[in-house]
Amino acid sequence: MALRIQWMLKDAEERASGESRSSKRVWFQQKVQYKIFDQSHFAWSTTLSETGMFLRTDLSFPLYSLMHLSFSIPGDGQVFECDGVIVRQEVDHEPRGLGVMFQNLKGESIERLESFLEVYV
């Protein structure tokens, strides 16, 4: 019961502060290639976290659509590739775009992402 109360208090604090995300975001402007429905597109990212990223684009896709992402992480010599799912769309407010949650990150990919983020978080 006490754990549930702590969770509810934390949730209320996050809503009051306007921050309801599970992980901290960092400003991250990189060109991202993504493939969805067998078509490739490019977009610029705005933020990155250990759980996902936001892509600026005027394109719209159904929520929960799967995509494959490829982008560069500064200071890392390899292209970062992963799968993602669209969990949010901004079509009425700036910046317009897609909130993408990473899927199935494993081992080395998690370490590479964490290494970059620990510098900024």
CATH number (domain holding residue 102): 2.40.10.220
Rounded distance, CA 11 to CA 5, Å? 10
Does pLDDT of 16 surpass 50?
no
16 located within any domain: no
Does pLDDT of 58 surpass 60?
yes
87 located within any domain: yes
Burial class (CB in 10 A: 0-12, 13-18, 19+), 79: exposed
Cβ proximity of 54 and 99 under 8 Å: yes
60 located within any domain: yes
96 located within any domain: yes
Does pLDDT of 2 surpass 50?
no
5 located within any domain: no
Q: Each residue of 87-106: pLDDT tens digit?
A: 999 988 888 999 999 999 99
- Enter the DSSP assignment of 73: -
For the chain, the domain total comes to 1
What's the domain range around 78? Answer: 23-120
Q: What is the pTM of this model?
A: 0.79
